[in-house]
A and B are shown apart, each in its own frame.
Chain A
Amino acid sequence: MEKEILEQGLNLNRRKFLSRLSLGLGSAALGSLLVPDLFSGKNPAEDALLNALPHFAPKAKRVIYLFQNGAPSQLETFDYKPLLNKNFGEELPESIRMGQRLTGMTSGQASFPLVGSYFDFQQYGESRAWISSLFPHTASIVDDICIVKSMHTEAINHDPALTFFQTGAQVGNRPSMGSWLSYGLGSENSNLPAFCVLLSKGKGNGQGVYSKLWSNGFLDATHQGVQFSNSEDPVLYLKDPKSMSRDERRKMLDQIAAMNDLSYREFNDPEITAKVQQYEMAYRMQTAVPEITDVSKEPDSIIKLYGPDCLVPGTYAANCLLARKLSESGVRFVQLYHQGWDAHDNLPNQMIGQAKDVDQASAALITDLKQRGLLDETLVIWGGEFGRTNYCQGKIQVENYGRDHHPRAFSIWMAGGGVKSGMVYGETDDFGYNITENPVHVHDFQATILHLMGIDHERLTYKHLGRRYRLTDVSGKVVKDIIT
């Protein structure tokens, strides 16, 4: 009897406990309704971060970055310094250099003789911008571009400087600018990668480009830049092998995906899903890419615009044309590299060749985007990783001289996509050595690009190894003055 009473009491307690428990579970369930990702294991903060992108109305939808690899001299392009011609051969005054560091290539030089541009300068357009005679086509579009004469960087050698420009840090392993944009905004056209890379080589002294420059770093591998080949087949292996039909290809991919799914369930490695997505992307690229890379239907006026080299695969002109076609088809970020600007000696001669390679096609890209009504939503950037010294490296002659690396002041230009046109921004001293007005640091430049794409550079972050990373590291200010 006593036992039954006890049992009864316990039962009562148990029932009470269970009913209370269910109330607790109910409230937990309610909680999960209020915070939907509570139990999903996803990082809601990150999803929210991406859902809120772009942070504000973008001015540019796409970027084409014409990287002039090796660092073209600002003094033979856009920064006109007649004083250097006047003071030819005179020593660089200490009051200008102020003991700043030099590279090992000239720090041992007994003297630092000033050397002026071998090429004449003239003023063009409504902005009255000075442009050297090497760039007649660029001069013809001067009212569509904004020349920034006050860029400066932290690195003094090519690889760190390039890496700094592309990833915001001088050491490797961080995501490239295009990868950040792919991560933040995705691709407009889901049949093409968001980030494409095109390489070309001039005849001047070249510096290497490495795939780390278009690396996804710690971001998902789908954000990696896709390098196009220089051959007539810009993306290799897109054709189906003989005797394999489209349907069979589809079946094969489905089977592989099923198997990958199995191993994903076992190991939970996100690289596996990234791989499946890439296979799917490649499948869709099989039709999307040939539509774009076929240049045989381009009208004659396009060939004249870009120059006849634009039909020779692997040239800068061909890459500019391809860049336009990719960008027009919704590729978020097209990165070109043109090697050969590292003129430590024989600079005038090398510059002639390099300018011939890039001048017409760069200007053509602007004109072409404009006539299609695309320039206002496409940001085009032209520039190298740093500038070159105002003093001569090696033997000095009026028509034959060299220039060493100079990170303290150099020129780039930008066009379209929310950048003021017909503008010259920033100024350097009469020696072209230091910036006197409106300096633009590489991080400022990156912040500005992200801003034009509708992104607050401080809010596009990714948490990796316990800290949040961003393209502009811990600095960067949007250069509002050059934005429309």
Chain B
Amino acid sequence: MKKPSLQGILENLIFVWLGLGLILSIPSNSVFFPDWLQVLGRAHPLILHFPIVLLLMGFLLFWMPQKSELKKITELVILIGINFAGLTVLAGLILAREDYEGSEILWHQWAGIIVFLGSVLLYFFRKKSPTFNKAFGVILALGLVATGHWGANLTHGENFLLAPLKPDDLPKPSLSEAEVFRDMVQPILEAKCQSCHREGKVKGELRMDHLEGIQKGGKSGPFVVAGDLENSLMTQRISLPTEDKKHMPPKNKSQLSDEELSILKEWVRAGAAFDQKVTEIDSTSPLFQIATLQFSEEKTYSFSPVSQELVQSLNNYYRSVKPIHPESPALEVSYFGISAFDPTSLDDLKMIKEQLVHLNLNKMPLEGVDLSFLNDFPNLERLKLNFTGLSSGQIQQLEGLKNLRQLSLAGNSINQDGISILENLGDLSHLYLWQTGLDELQKERLRKSLKSTQIDFGFEGTGIVYELNPPKISQNKSLFSDSLEITLSHPIQSVQIRYTLDESEPDSIQSPVYSVPIWVKNSGKLKARVFAQGWKGSPTQSTVFLKSGIIPELYELKSDPNPRYKAQGSKTLFDQVKGKNNHTSGEWLGFQDSPLDLEFSIGNNQKIGSLELSLLYHEGAYIFPPSKVEILYWENGKWNSMIQKSPEPSDKIRDPRSELLKFNLGDKAFEKLKVRVFPIASLPSWHPGSGAKGWVFIDEILLN
């Protein structure tokens, strides 16, 4: 007897597989499998790779020149492949008895069997014709790929293969549209459960891919029992410890996150309803809290986006066109640049008429521009037309905008017709009507007819009386030799500026009204205030101007200024430069511990009419009016007092300011004069530095 060759054994083995396969493919519940067979069944996903590779390789080899060695190899490869195919079919048929049902398994199963049988036929008729081999090989290869694909679908889920090519899921619904089951529960079931519990693979006789399956439950009991966490199998299983055999999802599969766990439990607790909206649940429940984080209040849009190139091309320096955020098909458009505005550019928007949801035309001159084209923009929700010079007729052109929710019309005057038109825009949620010239009656009428619209009439300011701010005084210098021009101004054009030159407080009736610049010829002080209808008069603003005087021949400081504020010493007092209102500017002499004590003589027996001290007051910096000013003259070999005066003390902290103290010396000639200026010894009790020593700051002494 001939020793059986490997080829012979393998050929015979094919018929073993065929026979066994025939038995198993008879649908019957009475077939009993020993455990080890079940292990073989579960090895199906492992074994199946061998026939796929071997058979495909065999079919490919048919296309190469079939010289004798290669022919043998081809035959052997296909033969081994067929044997593995048989084993795979067998294992598959055993596995199919476990929790699989539906059309998908049938396609896979029968395709597998047919490819197996086909390969057997091909093998035994291989000698007929090489062309037949090639052609039939191609057909079988295609069948093999299809079988493998259907099989993979069973294991990984139907969308697994092509998922990366498909566009992302539909946009999430907004909070107001979202449903608890559809948008919160179902996505979890889909992601974490359905790969095993669905058509084609019904583990535990439970299907989650359709509503009936979920409502029916599995072989161990009901999937959910409304409000009952204990008896709902779903919540029971997902709550078991991971090690537990019955824990779901199984240990080696992707687990539920904490958030998913609580969504599922809270859904059951709240009654496991299938058509409840998120907005219908109690806003204090954890489920609602999670929902508010998951769903934005932003609306989602179903229309399709326009191309990015189109969006790009619509952008320019004066128009911004952008999606409301990168994933949204909805566009918002803003116009900028009043002087560059061209109404014909609005025509471009027709290219995005479906996508445009926000349009901002604030401040663009739209007078007489036909806006009726906007009626073709079905999704326009928000329209900003503040200060655009719209007429009522133009507002009427907006009536067709069915989705308009927010309309800004501030700064356009609206007449009776305009009001009647606005009354028809009942779907608006917000309407902005500041500065539209409506009176109280008209406002009331709109409020009544637009009950569900929030109308903002803005701030009118009527009846509120504020204090005006002080005028601005400009003079190009403070010290002048001949005459000086002083101009007054105020930022509000409609006010009246009144002033005095005699140290009295300006009032709104008596004091002269400022119209043209004032020319002064002598040292003095100008005080000015501003008045206007509907306003409280401003605080007084004042300025000191100094006519430069005689510079003494000799002068000497008998006391030293504080070393921090010694400027140029006594020279500073006669340098004819007025200091800025800042004691640290280096133009001021500061005295704190000792009084200013200055002796001077002007010589030539010149007569002196007046002496003026230019001082700085700034209570915040402890700089106060002096407590005393003394003027003495030298006669008969001693100092004789001529003037002793205490200026008005301060009563509150005010801005730093220059003051002028003027003393009349009676137009006499003196040999020598002495001026003493005493800082206040202790700050008054109302001052934060109460009790501390005060300062005197002086920058100029003027003699005339």
In angstroms, Cα B337 to Cα A190, docked, is 10
* Smallest beta-carbon distance A450→chain B, Å: 14
B328 is contacted by which of A57, A291, A329, A484 (Cβ under 8 Å)?
Answer: A57
Interface centre among A190, A203, A345 (most CB of B within 10 A): A190
Q: Could you mark each residue 608-643 of chain B with 1 if its beta carbon is under 8 Å from any beta carbon of chain A, else 0?
A: 000000000000100000000000000000000000
* Smallest beta-carbon distance A188→chain B, Å: 6
Asked whether, in the complex, the Cβ of A288 is within 8 Å of the Cβ of B336, the reply is: yes
Specify the chain B residue showing the minimal Cβ separation from A397.
B688
In angstroms, Cα B326 to Cα A51, docked, is 8
| Number of A interface residues in the complex (CB < 8 A) | 47
In angstroms, Cα B408 to Cα A191, docked, is 24
Q: Does B464 contact A (CB under 8 A)?
A: yes
> Which stretch, B43-51, B120-128, B430-438, B676-684, touches the partner chain A?
B430-438
* Smallest beta-carbon distance B456→chain A, Å: 5
Q: What 13 additional pairs, Cβ within 8 angstroms, besides A288-B337, A308-B535?
A: A53-B326, A56-B325, A308-B469, A330-B336, A370-B456, A371-B410, A371-B459, A372-B408, A372-B432, A372-B434, A373-B406, A400-B688, A454-B325
Q: Does A238 contact B (CB under 8 A)?
A: no
Asked whether, in the complex, the Cβ of B326 is within 8 Å of the Cβ of A373, the reply is: no
Q: Does A86 contact B (CB under 8 A)?
A: no
Asked whether, in the complex, the Cβ of A305 is within 8 Å of the Cβ of B461, the reply is: yes
B435 is contacted by which of A51, A57, A284, A301 (Cβ under 8 Å)?
Answer: A301
A-B contact pairs, 14 of them (CB 8 A): A53-B326, A57-B296, A57-B298, A284-B317, A288-B336, A300-B461, A301-B458, A303-B492, A311-B492, A312-B491, A368-B459, A372-B410, A372-B434, A373-B408
A287 is contacted by which of B298, B337, B406, B472 (Cβ under 8 Å)?
Answer: B337
Residues of A within 8 A of B492 (CB): 303, 308, 311
Residues of A within 8 A of B297 (CB): 484
Asked whether, in the complex, the Cβ of A54 is within 8 Å of the Cβ of B325, the reply is: yes
Residues of B within 8 A of A349 (CB): 653, 688
Residues of A within 8 A of B296 (CB): 56-57
Specify the chain B residue showing the minimal Cβ separation from A297.
B387
Q: Could you mark each residue 463-477 of chain B with 1 if its beta carbon is under 8 Å from any beta carbon of chain A, else 0?
A: 010111100100000
Q: Could you mark each residue 312-349 of chain A with 1 if its beta carbon is under 8 Å from any beta carbon of chain B, else 0?
A: 10000000000000001110000000000000011001
* Smallest beta-carbon distance B335→chain A, Å: 9
Q: Does B443 contact A (CB under 8 A)?
A: no
Q: Does B362 contact A (CB under 8 A)?
A: yes
* Smallest beta-carbon distance B643→chain A, Å: 35
Asked whether, in the complex, the Cβ of B318 is within 8 Å of the Cβ of A301, the reply is: no
Specify the chain B residue showing the minimal Cβ separation from A418.
B297
Asked whether, in the complex, the Cβ of B336 is within 8 Å of the Cβ of A345, the reply is: no
Residues of B within 8 A of A372 (CB): 362, 386, 408, 410, 432, 434, 458
- B residues neighboring A (CB under 8 Å): 293, 296-298, 317-318, 320, 324-326, 328, 334, 336-340, 362, 384, 386, 406, 408, 410, 430, 432, 434-435, 456-461, 464, 466-469, 472, 491-493, 535, 538, 620, 653, 655, 688
In angstroms, Cα B338 to Cα A312, docked, is 25
Asked whether, in the complex, the Cβ of B334 is within 8 Å of the Cβ of A188, the reply is: yes
Q: Does A480 contact B (CB under 8 A)?
A: yes
Residues of B within 8 A of A236 (CB): none
Residues of B within 8 A of A188 (CB): 320, 334, 336
Interface residues of A in 351-401 (CB under 8 A from B): 364, 367-368, 370-373, 400
In angstroms, Cα B81 to Cα A9, docked, is 42
* Smallest beta-carbon distance A341→chain B, Å: 15
* Smallest beta-carbon distance A348→chain B, Å: 9
Query: What's the A-B contact tally at a CB cutoff of 8 Å?
Result: 112
Q: Does A40 contact B (CB under 8 A)?
A: no
In angstroms, Cα B620 to Cα A307, docked, is 25
Q: Is the contact region of chain B dominated by helix, strand, or loop, or is it mixed? A: loop
Asked whether, in the complex, the Cβ of A346 is within 8 Å of the Cβ of B688, the reply is: yes
Q: Does A296 contact B (CB under 8 A)?
A: yes
In angstroms, Cα B336 to Cα A372, docked, is 16
Q: Does A299 contact B (CB under 8 A)?
A: yes
* Smallest beta-carbon distance A376→chain B, Å: 8
In angstroms, Cα B340 to Cα A52, docked, is 31
Asked whether, in the complex, the Cβ of B434 is within 8 Å of the Cβ of A371, the reply is: yes
Q: Does A239 contact B (CB under 8 A)?
A: no
Residues of A within 8 A of B386 (CB): 372-373
Asked whether, in the complex, the Cβ of B326 is within 8 Å of the Cβ of A52, the reply is: yes
Residues of B within 8 A of A189 (CB): 320, 334, 336-337
Asked whether, in the complex, the Cβ of B620 is within 8 Å of the Cβ of A308, the reply is: no
Asked whether, in the complex, the Cβ of B334 is within 8 Å of the Cβ of A373, the reply is: no
Q: Does A426 contact B (CB under 8 A)?
A: no
Asked whether, in the complex, the Cβ of A312 is within 8 Å of the Cβ of B469, the reply is: yes
Specify the chain A residue showing the minimal Cβ separation from B465.
A304
Q: Could you mark each residue 225-243 of chain A with 1 if its beta carbon is under 8 Å from any beta carbon of chain B, else 0?
A: 0000000000000000000
Asked whether, in the complex, the Cβ of B340 is within 8 Å of the Cβ of A287, the reply is: yes
Residues of B within 8 A of A284 (CB): 317
Asked whether, in the complex, the Cβ of A309 is within 8 Å of the Cβ of B469, the reply is: yes
Asked whether, in the complex, the Cβ of B461 is within 8 Å of the Cβ of A373, the reply is: no
B318 is contacted by which of A191, A299, A307, A368 (Cβ under 8 Å)?
Answer: A191
Contact of A308 with B337 at beta-carbon distance under 8 Å, contacts A190-B317, A284-B317, A349-B653 already known: no
A296 is contacted by which of B464, B493, B688 (Cβ under 8 Å)?
Answer: B493
* Smallest beta-carbon distance A356→chain B, Å: 11
Asked whether, in the complex, the Cβ of B688 is within 8 Å of the Cβ of A345, the reply is: yes
Q: Does A58 contact B (CB under 8 A)?
A: yes
Residues of B within 8 A of A305 (CB): 459, 461
Q: Could you mark each residue 454-484 of chain A with 1 if its beta carbon is under 8 Å from any beta carbon of chain B, else 0?
A: 1000000000000000000000000010001
Residues of A within 8 A of B620 (CB): 203
* Smallest beta-carbon distance B572→chain A, Å: 27
- Sorted nearest first, the 5 A-B pairs with minimum C-beta distance are A371-B458, A311-B491, A304-B461, A371-B434, A373-B408
In angstroms, Cα B491 to Cα A203, docked, is 21
Specify the chain B residue showing the minimal Cβ separation from A353.
B653
B320 is contacted by which of A190, A287, A364 (Cβ under 8 Å)?
Answer: A190
Specify the chain A residue showing the minimal Cβ separation from B431.
A373
Specify the chain B residue showing the minimal Cβ separation from A300.
B461
Residues of A within 8 A of B457 (CB): 371
* Smallest beta-carbon distance A321→chain B, Å: 11
In angstroms, Cα B411 to Cα A301, docked, is 12
* Smallest beta-carbon distance A204→chain B, Å: 10
Residues of B within 8 A of A296 (CB): 493
Specify the chain A residue showing the minimal Cβ separation from B461.
A304
* Smallest beta-carbon distance A190→chain B, Å: 5
Asked whether, in the complex, the Cβ of B459 is within 8 Å of the Cβ of A191, the reply is: no
* Smallest beta-carbon distance B409→chain A, Å: 9
Asked whether, in the complex, the Cβ of A299 is within 8 Å of the Cβ of B435, the reply is: yes
Asked whether, in the complex, the Cβ of B410 is within 8 Å of the Cβ of A373, the reply is: yes
B326 is contacted by which of A54, A330, A484 (Cβ under 8 Å)?
Answer: A54
Residues of A within 8 A of B317 (CB): 190-191, 284
In angstroms, Cα B324 to Cα A454, docked, is 10
* Smallest beta-carbon distance B665→chain A, Å: 38
